[in-house]
Amino acid sequence: MTPRRASYEGISLYSPPAVPCRVDLSDNTNLFGMPPAAEQALRDFTPSLITRYPVSYAPELKKALSAYSGFEASWLTTGCGSDDLIDCALRAFLEPGERIAVPEPSFSMMSYFAKVNGLQYTPVPLRSDFEIDVDGLLATGARLIYVCSPNNPTGTVVSRAVLERLVDAAPGIVLLDEAYTEFASASHVDLARSRPNVIVTRTLSKAFGLAGMRVGYAIGRPELVAEIEKARGPYKHSGLAERMAIAALTEGVSWVKARAEDAKEIRKRLVAELKAQGLEPLPSEANFVLVPLPGAPQVAARMRERDVNVRAFQGLAGVGDALRIGCGPWPLMEAALQALREARR
């Protein structure tokens, strides 16, 4: 018999379909590339930084994040992608058997993280206007409530008053996932300072173009961050990931902001073109748009035959079948729109 933790039985690995296509708009990464400063840091990386351990708890990276985010270093922790920080936060704040509540649809990894940490998982459907259901989330009695804004995969945002009501009534932690914040009209990160129970996670995988380097960060009161650091351990990202992240967060910031503005402009144009095809994309503040479309998985398969990869969803709660299309340089959008047109014929 395979030695195994009983609660791991039935857990399958997270495996979004990986399909090599000339135009890949499936994973919400930065389709413009990465900041030139990060590329320079890659070229400048020296062997001496490989043979030694990175400095524990990444103080230099925290310094760069501090300048970018406006939070002191003691309010920050970093991880191997924000995935890792969500996982660490669940371990840090909840004992096995306790419950998390997650709006649905939202980041699909949340149920996986709940399972591997032995937690109870309660999905709470978004309302018909795609706002979170505060009363429904509170009624679960969950010790940690996850909210993603802009939300993956809908692209919609939580409104300030609604979020404040949730945070002020929640019996435990509210973990606010701002992976796509650079593309949004507003951030709620200030709640991490004004409220004792808010942790915000963010990433360098999206606007910063460093998904392959695996760098994320979390913001919260020092006493909360200290708990996450216990679950995180001293070394997470490689020394190279740290150098590239620091470069992106310092000299790279103006490039990141300019490309995020480009993505927002392109999102507008893409939405208009999709509407011209008779579709009704959801209002998005992320670098992707979700397009409800019956038979989306079949449409996506036909788009792949035309060398364009978009993410297809089947029977999403409150949405139905849908395509999620990443925003990037306009020629990629044109290829996607053309493939979509042909795939729907």
Give me the least distance between CB of 151 and ligand PMP, in Å please. 7
Cis peptide before 54, with omega less than 30 degrees from 0? no
Which residue number, 21 or 211, has a Cβ lying nearer to ligand PMP?
211
Of residues 77 and 205, the one with the C-beta less far from ligand PMP: 205
248: enclosing H helix or E strand: helix 239-249
Which residues, 207 to 246, sit near ligand PMP by CB under 6 A?
Answer: 211, 216
Give the count of residues interacting with ligand PMP (CB under 6 A).
Answer: 13
Rounded to 5 degrees, what are φ and ψ at 24? -110, 105
User: Does residue number 152 form part of the binding site for ligand PMP (CB under 6 A)?
Assistant: yes
Q: How far apart are CA 339 and CA 196, in angstroms?
A: 48
Q: How far is the CB of 228 from ligand PMP (least distance, A)?
A: 15
Kind and range of the H or E run holding 91: helix 81-93
By CB under 6 A, residue 155 contacts ligand PMP: no
Residue 30 found at the interface with ligand PMP (CB under 6 A): no
Among 107, 130, 146, 183, binds ligand PMP (CB under 6 A): 107
Alpha-carbon Rg for the chain in angstroms: 20
Nearer to ligand PMP, 148 or 199 (CB): 148
Q: Which is nearer to ligand PMP, 122 or 205 (CB)?
A: 205
CB atoms within 10 A of CB 315: 11
Q: Are strands 144-148 and 99-104 parallel, antiparallel or unpaired?
A: parallel
Of 69, 149, 154, 203, which lies in the binding site for ligand PMP, with binding defined by CB under 6 A? 203
Counting contacts by CB under 6 A, is residue 181 touching ligand PMP?
Answer: no
Nearer to ligand PMP, 83 or 227 (CB): 83
SS3 173: strand
Q: Name the token pair of 96.
A: 């096995």
Options 82, 181, 197, 287; binder of ligand PMP; rule CB under 6 A: 82
Region from 81-89, 93-101, 167-175, 297-305 binding ligand PMP, contact rule CB under 6 A: 81-89
Q: Smaller CB distance to ligand PMP: residue 102 or 337?
A: 102
d(CA 293, CA 313): 9
The answer to whether 180 and 287 have CB atoms below 8 angstroms apart is: yes
Could you give the 3-state DSSP secondary structure of residue 226? Answer: helix
Q: Is position 35 an interface residue for ligand PMP (rule: CB under 6 A)?
A: no
Interaction between residue 285 and ligand PMP (CB under 6 A): no
Q: From 79-87, 92-100, 139-147, 182-190, give the range in contact with ligand PMP by CB under 6 A.
A: 79-87
Contact 212, 27 (CB under 8 A): no
Residues paired with 320 in a beta bridge: 316
In angstroms, the CA 230 to CA 226 distance is: 6
> Contact, 100 vs 114, CB < 8 A?
yes
| Residue 78 contacts ligand PMP per CB under 6 A | no
CA distances in angstroms from 298 to 64, 105, 312, 332, 340, listed in the order given: 44, 21, 9, 21, 11
Tell me if 105 contacts ligand PMP by CB under 6 A: no
Tell me: does residue 69 bind ligand PMP (CB under 6 A): no
How many residues would you count in the chain? 345
Nearer to ligand PMP, 179 or 290 (CB): 179
The residue among 122 and 287 lying less far from ligand PMP, judged by its C-beta, is 287
Closest distance to ligand PMP from the beta carbon of 83 (Å): 3
* Residue 332 one-letter amino acid: L
- Residue closer to ligand PMP by CB (options 143, 311) is 311
Residues of this chain that interact with ligand PMP (CB under 6 A) are 28, 81-83, 107, 148, 152, 177, 179, 203, 205, 211, 216
